[in-house]
């Protein structure tokens, strides 16, 4: 991974999972949380992008992720 990818405005799910710590949550659980809308992200076609600033605020507990209506 080069410096440009590290400083980009968006993270891949793999990069976000690495920031969380692979020993903290398994890959399958992280993707399940994405699918449930618990982790802030946007989808472009089949691609999942995680806005870096929103993810870091969410990770620090400063941003609540809206839950879908039941």
Domain boundaries, the chain: 7-59
Predicted confidence at residue 36, as pLDDT, reads 95
Q: How confident is the model at residue 3 (pLDDT cuts 50, 70, 90)?
A: very low
pLDDT of 61 over the 80 cut: yes
Q: What six digits make up the tokens of 10? A: 């968006």
Mean pLDDT across 3-26 = 84
pLDDT tens sequence across 15-57: 999 999 888 899 999 999 999 999 999 999 999 999 999 999 9
Q: Other CB atoms closer than 10 Å to residue 19's CB: what's the count?
A: 15
- Per-position DSSP letters for 2-70, written without gaps between them: -HHHHTSSEE-HHHHHHHH-TTTS-HHHHHHHHHTT-S--EEETTEEEEEHHHHHHHHTT-SPPPPPP-
């Amino acid at each position: 991974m080069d410096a440009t990818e590290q400083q980009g405005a968006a993270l891949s799910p793999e990069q976000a999972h690495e920031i969380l710590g692979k020993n903290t949550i398994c890959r399958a659980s992280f993707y399940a949380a994405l699918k449930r809308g618990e982790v802030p992200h946007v989808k472009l076609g089949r691609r999942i992008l995680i806005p870096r600033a929103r993810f870091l605020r969410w990770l620090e507990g400063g941003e609540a992720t809206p839950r879908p209506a039941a």
